[in-house]
């Protein structure tokens, strides 16, 4: 089957989308990726106008389809960037939209566009139930992981000194994260992400001082952070904690590296991992601090949990398995 992915391919999400697409290629499908942000660009000086960018996206997509007709298009879009009724005027194959944002996704503000696609897939069970109750066929597909890329890395002495820590977090500051991390700032915590060093985004001076780098970290450096840390932290950004939903990418990437993860409990979690054995999960701020303090010094137990987490990822959470599941829904 010829599959076309339409997504934003820059930054850390671009890495993830490429890994996801590779899962389909591994199964023998002919895969191509199209960056919708590049589709918007051109020599037109008015290209920054939304209607011009909208037109350019559809023109570029139509040209691609005529040049290399796919059987399936998978749209991974953070915003409703495409007019699917218009796409149906030049594409008669299968259209899948994959929602990675859950209940807060802008595409759910109106639902009429869904009639022009074949399948909606989401990383949130909350979103799946909401849409199923409205009679819209929606399937739940959690993130997967490339366990050959996210793997335990041997680090040099210099790398261990820079990337290593008892506790670490990779991501941007939010009010909840600032409040929670402030409670464990004395436990050897290291924060990664340039925004932690900005006073206007992180008013907590103690946390600003725990920032190891003034730049954002992506790619193999992230794998080194995971490998060098004894315990990684994962706290949902607002408003995903009300209700708690979506297993974020880190919920799979960190265990795949063989490092223990302390993550926020969501309803999707226990179907994917066994808390206490393959990762650690907290349901309250008090439990977050208690688990972080208790386990931050128990390196032997952290290594055991990390090894169990990697084994689970290899068994159940590869992109090949996610690809096979999605394809099965279309047969």
Residue 18 inside a domain? The answer is yes
Buried residues in 220-249 as b, exposed as e (16+ CB within 10 A)? ebbbbbbbbbbbbbbbbbeebeeeebbbbb
pLDDT for residue 43 is more than 70: no
**Tens digits of residue pLDDT in 82-95:** 999 999 999 999 99
For 131, the 3-state DSSP assignment is helix
Q: What does the block give as tokens for 81?
A: 């960037």
| Structural domain includes residue 180 | yes
Q: How many domains does the chain have?
A: 2
Confidence band of 121 (pLDDT split at 50, 70, 90): very high
Tell me the helix, strand and coil percentages in the chain, rounded to 5: 45, 20, 35
- Helix, strand, or coil (residue 167): strand
**CATH number of the domain that 27 lies in?**
3.40.50.2000
pLDDT at 241: 56
| Domain membership flag for residue 325 | no
- Range of 107's domain? 2-141
Shared-domain flag, residues 121 and 186: no
- Banded pLDDT at 47 (limits 50, 70, 90): low
* Residue 147 within any structural domain of the chain: no
Same domain, 306 and 201: yes
Percent of the chain predicted with pLDDT > 70: 96
pLDDT at residue 204 tops 60: yes
Same domain for 211 and 299, yes or no, is yes
Residues 195 and 272 in one domain: yes
Q: Are 182 and 207 in contact (CB under 8 A)?
A: yes
- For residue 218, being part of any structural domain is answered with yes
Token readout for 276 is 């206490």
Q: Is 59 found in the same domain as 125?
A: yes
* Burial 183-202, CB ≥16 within 10 A → b, else e: ebeebbbbbbbebbbeeeeb
Q: What is the 3-state secondary structure (H, E, C) of 294-323?
A: HHCCCHHHHHHHHHHHHHHHHHHCEHHHHH
The rounded mean pLDDT for the chain is 93
| In-domain check, residue 273 | yes
How far is it, in rounded angstroms, from Cα 94 to Cα 92? 7
The tens digit of pLDDT for each residue in 244-256 reads: 899 999 999 999 9
The reported pTM is 0.94
């Amino acid at each position: 089957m010829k599959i076309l992915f339409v997504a934003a391919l820059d930054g850390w999400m671009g890495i993830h989308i490429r890994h996801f697409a590779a899962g389909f290629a591994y199964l023998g499908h002919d895969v191509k990726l199209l960056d919708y942000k590049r589709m918007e660009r051109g020599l037109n000086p008015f290209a920054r106008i939304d209607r011009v960018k909208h037109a350019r996206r559809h023109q570029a997509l139509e040209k691609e389809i005529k040049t290399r007709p796919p059987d399936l298009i998978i749209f991974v879009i953070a915003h409703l960037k495409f007019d699917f009724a218009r796409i149906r005027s030049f594409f008669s194959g299968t259209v899948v939209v994959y929602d990675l944002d859950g209940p807060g996704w802008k595409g759910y503000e109106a639902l009429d566009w869904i009639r022009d696609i074949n399948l909606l897939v989401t990383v949130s069970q909350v979103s799946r139930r909401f849409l199923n109750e409205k009679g819209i066929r929606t399937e739940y597909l959690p993130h997967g992981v490339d366990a050959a890329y996210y793997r335990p890395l041997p680090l040099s002495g210099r790398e261990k000194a820079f990337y290593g820590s008892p506790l670490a977090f990779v991501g941007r500051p939010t009010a909840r994260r600032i409040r929670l991390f402030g409670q464990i700032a004395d436990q050897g915590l290291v924060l990664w992400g340039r925004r932690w060093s900005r006073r206007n985004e992180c008013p907590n001076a103690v946390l600003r001082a725990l920032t190891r780098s003034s730049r954002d970290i992506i790619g193999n450096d992230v794998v080194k952070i995971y490998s060098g840390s004894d315990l990684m932290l994962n706290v949902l950004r607002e408003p995903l904690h009300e209700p708690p939903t979506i297993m974020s990418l880190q919920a799979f990437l960190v265990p795949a590296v063989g490092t223990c993860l302390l993550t926020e409990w969501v309803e999707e979690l226990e179907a994917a991992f066994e808390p206490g054995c393959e990762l650690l999960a907290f349901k309250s701020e008090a439990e977050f601090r208690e688990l972080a303090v208790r386990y931050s010094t128990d390196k032997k137990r952290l290594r055991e949990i990390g090894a169990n987490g990697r084994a689970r990822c290899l068994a159940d959470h590869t992109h090949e398995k996610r690809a096979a599941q999605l394809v099965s829904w279309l047969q």
